[in-house]
Chains A and B, each alone.
Chain A
Amino acid sequence: METNYAVEMKNVTKTFGSTVANNNVSLTIKKGEILSLLGENGSGKTTIMNMLAGIYFPDSGQIYINGKEESIRSPKDAYDLGIGMIHQHFKLVDIFSATENVILGQEGKERLNKKAVAARIREICDKYGFDVDPDKKVYNMSVSEKQTLEIVKVIYRGADILILDEPTAVLTPQETEKLFTVIRNMRAAGKAIVIITHKLHEVLSISDRVTILRKGEYVGTVDTKDANEMILTEMMVGKKVELNIDRKEPENTVKRLEVKNLSCYNKEGRLALDNISFTANAGEILGIAGISGCGEKELLESIAGLQKTARGSVIFNDPESGQEIELIGKNPKAIKNLGIALSFVPEDRLGMGLVGSMGMIENMMLRDYNKEGVIFLNKSKPKQVAEAIKEELGVVTPSINTPVSRLSGGNVQKVLVGREISSAPAVLMTAYAVRGLDINTSYSIYNLLNKQKENGVAVLYVGEDLDVLLALCDRILVLCGGKMSGIVDARTTTKEEVGLMMTSIRKGDTKDE
């Protein structure tokens, strides 16, 4: 009976310092099935799979591969056992072609024979329905192509057990569907597949069984056919959760931010924003959708005064004085000095929004340490803010002086969002505000944003989860490759429409402008 299982993990425990990432977790993966590994962030999904892939070594517990106890000490051991993992962050060499990336790190004489490798890649592609051009350089590939290449790479190396860590996070709905098709083909070929995810609808549509982890512990495994969103959420969170976003009709909307013909170049000199025009209203959430790298980062940074622009203007309508103020050409300090409360939650939390080595208090000061005093820092107010945020958003930290880089991703995000909201903004820009947050916290962030909207703040929400964008926003601006595909009404549009606009400029729209 044991031979049925491709993988059996028994009582596996892994700790990092005093944090227990996995506590006594046991799970099984059958051959020819798709297992979803479901859990909130920090529940230990990735850790347990990293132990299977040889990246971490368990503190205790046994791993059986095809019924035999094995010790996986390195990724190479994992490969030898036929285990391949596709990480969230791709591990590809940009300037190499697909073939060269596949050869990389392989032993044997094959590395000299690129043609043979390319031929085998094509063979694999035909068998499972992948779409990879062996000669294409990685830097010319889209995210979805890169991911496909990663999968081809592990199959080429003879993997029978595939682990995909949040594979759909960076894909459009159409690309996700394509990915699921090849995953089903692989299942048909008898491979064991694990998908790490926290998107419930994907779990339900692709997997055969679902294993749920919570806070590093094994909660249970259910057959997908017996599961629904309610059951899964409850197992994941440990209690019943209301998954509702209370979206009110926008009231008293007035123009707050007018972006006109905005264009800019990125660091590589490519046109990152091409003639973007829109209006963001006070008392409204404007969603911004697009594949990552479509210009969403540059757009927010241009408004915040962090990105040099080539053309165009951003007019801020001051709610108090009624004045129209041009933001282009001003740096963040100048904008702040004008009394414009522009809050910005950047995508790169520790690289831009926060200082990792500092505690919560010092991070609270980041935006207005200059306001009070002449020479010395005033830490009493930031301390109050830090304590309030810790309390209200439930930030888990040993102390408000603990460096924020030691906190988990979700808590880091709470600190950042909390600070940006605490300054009573007129405009609130958020880039992937709930990335890495668990369901509970995500919904509390949505509620916070909705509250801001009701308070008359103009909210710009860059998001990746289309379901959330449709449920949270009032209007959605869709970007594609730096160009505007259009603005749609979030209440009437569909996921498919937005997904399509994300990948192709709607004809007609661009001509009209």
Chain B
Amino acid sequence: MSKAAAVREPFIRITKRDKMPIWKKIIIYVVAIILALAVSALFIFFVTKLNPIDVYKTMWQGAFGGITDTVKKLHRSVTIRDICTLLLLGVALAPAFKMKFWNCGAEGQMLMGGVATAFMMINLADAGLPNWLLLVIMCVSAVIFGAVWGLIPAIFKAVWNTNETLFTLMMNYVAIQITSFCVAKWENPYGSNSVGIINQATQVGWFPTWFGQKYVLNIIIAIIATVAMFIYLKKTKQGYEIAVVGESKNTAKYAGISVKKVIIRTMIISGAVCGLAGFVGVAGVDHTISTSTAGGRGFTAIIVAWLAKFNTFFMVAITLLIIFLNRGASEIASKFALNEYASNIITGIILFFILGCEFFITYKMNFRKSAKEA
């Protein structure tokens, strides 16, 4: 028997495949999502004893629908708002990741941007500046703070070759401490240990409401950042330098590119866009600052950047999916009185299947039988 086994070829062999046409990729993704929904349905049915179809319907409603028009409108605008912030963070990580600089500090860089925004909002509330000018000042200071937070690990990496993953991660905790210090300093009302809504009565330094929509400026900023970053990475010399440095530092040196300069410059940009996300988060969404202003989105953005292969336009689709899952998950948690874990499991299953697609796109499975026929 063992002899027979020795002559047989292995059951599955994995080989790398050539480039796959885009339609095939889309089919794989669609199949993956259907499979994910099926597996989640089993989970929902056997563990929570709910009707999976109802649960999915509720998820959809949580993100894009609602029973009444007002709820529908609210759901949709919240979804779009969340997409904008997460997309900005994903876009911010694109240049750093393309350079193979693993910036895990989007969380802290966004927080620092938020702190700067809140600082300006609070201190310039009574300065009598026109709102647009105040917004510009807030934006610029947020960008600078975020950039500085990105610059510090970049300098250490460029000069002493420190580990950027650890460094940027640690910088997050420093940013959180600074934020909680500021929260304590600015707390309002006194003793509440929170900043409260800043300028609630005057709405000074808030994003304006245009066309009856609160989040128009969020959308504009996100679109501009996405398009600009795409062009920056694909069409400019600096984008080219980033790609070369990311591929091989030796090649970059050979080509006369100053690796240190590129690392520092790119991290300034990455941090600056994170700071911009902080500005949007504070002035355009929360109108307050707390240690949870970033709320883990700096880490979710890492998933966004990777799944989109650092292409900022793909990021739009990925953020859409992730925010949809988030919103939907919290909706089913509240409607069916499930705890957060149940809905997180569903989100996890869907993400797992999407990630699994990568494997099938890159590799081909050869089963014993099919190989013999071929």
- Roughly how many angstroms separate A350 CA and B248 CA in the complex, as a whole number? 9
- Looking at the complex, which one of B8, B15, B236, B257 makes contact with A71 (CB distance below 8 Å)? B8
Chain A residues with CB under 8 Å of B248's CB are 350-352, 355-356
Q: Which A residues from 78 to 97 make CB contacts under 8 A with B?
A: none
Chain B residues with CB under 8 Å of A375's CB are 236-238
Q: Would you call A70 and B7 a contact (CB within 8 A)?
A: yes
Known A-B contacts A375-B237, A376-B236; the reply to A366 vs B251 at CB < 8 A is yes
Chain A residues with CB under 8 Å of B47's CB are none
Chain A residues with CB under 8 Å of B10's CB are 57, 73
Q: Would you call B243 and A59 a contact (CB within 8 A)?
A: no
Measured CB to CB, the closest approach of chain A to B282, in angstroms, equals 31
Q: Is the interface of A mostly helix, strand, loop or mixed?
A: loop
Least CB separation from A367: chain B residue: B255
Q: Would you call B16 and A332 a contact (CB within 8 A)?
A: no
- Roughly how many angstroms separate A16 CA and B247 CA in the complex, as a whole number? 24
Least CB separation from B8: chain A residue: A71
Interface stretch among A192-200, A248-256, A357-365, A474-482? Answer: A357-365
- Roughly how many angstroms separate A351 CA and B374 CA in the complex, as a whole number? 37
Q: Which A residues from 94 to 118 make CB contacts under 8 A with B?
A: none
Q: Mask for B1-22, Cβ within 8 A of A = 1, else 0?
A: 0000011111001011110000
Q: Would you call B7 and A71 a contact (CB within 8 A)?
A: yes
- Looking at the complex, which one of A357, A366, A376, A377 makes contact with B255 (CB distance below 8 Å)? A366
- Roughly how many angstroms separate A57 CA and B256 CA in the complex, as a whole number? 44
Chain A residues with CB under 8 Å of B240's CB are 362, 365, 369, 377
Least CB separation from B253: chain A residue: A306
Measured CB to CB, the closest approach of chain B to A66, in angstroms, equals 14
- Roughly how many angstroms separate A189 CA and B352 CA in the complex, as a whole number? 57
Chain A residues with CB under 8 Å of B244's CB are 355, 366
User: A304 at interface (Cβ–Cβ under 8 A)?
Assistant: yes
- Looking at the complex, which one of A18, A73, A367 makes contact with B9 (CB distance below 8 Å)? A73
User: A508 at interface (Cβ–Cβ under 8 A)?
Assistant: no
Q: Would you call A17 and B251 a contact (CB within 8 A)?
A: no
- Looking at the complex, which one of A77, A336, A350, A376 makes contact with B256 (CB distance below 8 Å)? A336
Q: Would you call B254 and A344 a contact (CB within 8 A)?
A: yes
Q: Would you call A352 and B6 a contact (CB within 8 A)?
A: no
User: A354 at interface (Cβ–Cβ under 8 A)?
Assistant: yes
Least CB separation from B247: chain A residue: A355
Q: Would you call B7 and A69 a contact (CB within 8 A)?
A: yes
User: B258 at interface (Cβ–Cβ under 8 A)?
Assistant: yes
User: B235 at interface (Cβ–Cβ under 8 A)?
Assistant: yes
User: A42 at interface (Cβ–Cβ under 8 A)?
Assistant: no
User: A269 at interface (Cβ–Cβ under 8 A)?
Assistant: no
Measured CB to CB, the closest approach of chain A to B68, in angstroms, equals 50
User: A418 at interface (Cβ–Cβ under 8 A)?
Assistant: no
User: A290 at interface (Cβ–Cβ under 8 A)?
Assistant: no
**CB within 8 Å: A-B pair count:** 91
Least CB separation from A349: chain B residue: B251
Chain B residues with CB under 8 Å of A365's CB are 240
Known A-B contacts A332-B254, A352-B248; the reply to A369 vs B237 at CB < 8 A is yes
User: B371 at interface (Cβ–Cβ under 8 A)?
Assistant: yes
Chain A residues with CB under 8 Å of B9's CB are 57, 71, 73
Measured CB to CB, the closest approach of chain A to B278, in angstroms, equals 27
Chain A residues with CB under 8 Å of B250's CB are 348, 351-352
- Roughly how many angstroms separate A306 CA and B248 CA in the complex, as a whole number? 14
Chain A residues with CB under 8 Å of B372's CB are 60
- Roughly how many angstroms separate A350 CA and B254 CA in the complex, as a whole number? 12
Measured CB to CB, the closest approach of chain B to A388, in angstroms, equals 20
User: A423 at interface (Cβ–Cβ under 8 A)?
Assistant: no
Known A-B contacts A356-B247, A370-B237; the reply to A59 vs B371 at CB < 8 A is yes
Chain B residues with CB under 8 Å of A18's CB are 18
Give the interface centre of B16, B17, B256, B372 by most chain A CB atoms within 10 Å: B256
- Roughly how many angstroms separate A377 CA and B258 CA in the complex, as a whole number? 18
Chain A residues with CB under 8 Å of B371's CB are 59-60
Known A-B contacts A355-B243, A366-B244; the reply to A377 vs B237 at CB < 8 A is yes
Q: Mask for A306-332, Cβ within 8 A of B = 1, else 0?
A: 100000000000000000000000011
Measured CB to CB, the closest approach of chain A to B8, in angstroms, equals 6
User: A225 at interface (Cβ–Cβ under 8 A)?
Assistant: no
User: A353 at interface (Cβ–Cβ under 8 A)?
Assistant: yes
Q: Would you call A70 and B247 a contact (CB within 8 A)?
A: no
- Roughly how many angstroms separate A335 CA and B7 CA in the complex, as a whole number? 62
Measured CB to CB, the closest approach of chain B to A362, in angstroms, equals 7
- Roughly how many angstroms separate A422 CA and B196 CA in the complex, as a whole number? 65
Subset of 24 A-B contacts with CB under 8 Å: A16-B15, A17-B15, A17-B17, A57-B10, A60-B372, A70-B6, A73-B9, A304-B254, A331-B258, A332-B253, A335-B256, A336-B256, A348-B250, A350-B248, A351-B248, A352-B248, A356-B247, A356-B248, A365-B240, A369-B255, A370-B237, A373-B237, A375-B236, A377-B237
- 14 new A-B contacts at CB < 8 Å, known A57-B9, A73-B10, A306-B254: A17-B15, A59-B374, A70-B6, A331-B256, A353-B251, A354-B251, A358-B243, A358-B247, A362-B240, A366-B251, A369-B240, A369-B255, A377-B236, A377-B237
Interface of A toward B, CB cutoff 8 Å: 16-18, 57, 59-60, 69-71, 73, 77, 304, 306, 331-333, 335-336, 344, 346, 348, 350-358, 362, 365-367, 369-370, 373, 375-377
Interface of B toward A, CB cutoff 8 Å: 6-10, 13, 15-18, 235-240, 243-244, 247-248, 250-251, 253-258, 371-372, 374
